[in-house]
Amino acid sequence: MKKLKLCLIVVSTMLMSFCTNQKLTKENALEILKRDFKQKCYQGLISDNIYYYGNYYQKVSKSNEEDIAEIHSYIMELKKQGCVTSVEDKPRYMQFTLTSKGKRYQSSKKDRIGKLFEVATSEIVSVLGISENKNTGTAIVKFRFKYKPSPFYNLRRYKYKFKHKDTCKDKFYEHEVEFIKFDDRWEIKK
């Protein structure tokens, strides 16, 4: 019995020292980032005026008939995905009601025109480098991500107007976050 206790103490001491000396690798950092780093892109939807009282009225201000047909197809896709119901076409307007699934993408945040929607979420692509400070038990991790579109991505305002302000385009972005080392793991510093 004494040998078993001694053996368990040696094994647990070895495991603790292994965990406390654990180096942050690119693979570990990538796994942690994919699990814990979430950056959402919020934008308003295309409209001149947005009114929200249970129903969402989407004013189509484009004069180009192709754009209007494209916007209509995006709204119909939202209906197929279960994000909206009650699509009704009126001259230059498309009226629909957000479902509970669609409301999950609506933010409480507003801009000067109306409510904002989550149009994309970050998707980690790769870890570019790690700068670890052994004295402080921290590390700066530089990584690359791109935005994964939400169902409302194609109705974002900046796709059609003010394209220079579109902050969640389909391209790669680089970002840095600080990690902190605990006795048994690394975490993103909050």
Give me the tens of pLDDT residue by residue for the chain, a chain 190 residues long: 555 454 444 444 434 333 445 889 999 999 999 999 999 988 887 754 333 334 444 554 545 566 667 777 888 899 999 998 866 666 556 677 889 999 999 988 887 777 889 999 999 999 999 999 999 999 999 999 999 999 999 888 766 555 545 677 778 999 999 999 998 899 999 8
> CB neighbours (10 Å) of residue 47?
20
Q: Which of these, 164, 167, 126, 165, lies nearest to 143 by C-alpha position?
A: 126
Are the beta carbons of 87 and 94 closer than 8 angstroms?
yes
Tell me what pLDDT residue 135 has. Answer: 92
CA dist 145 and 163 (Å) reads: 21
- pTM of full prediction above 0.95: no
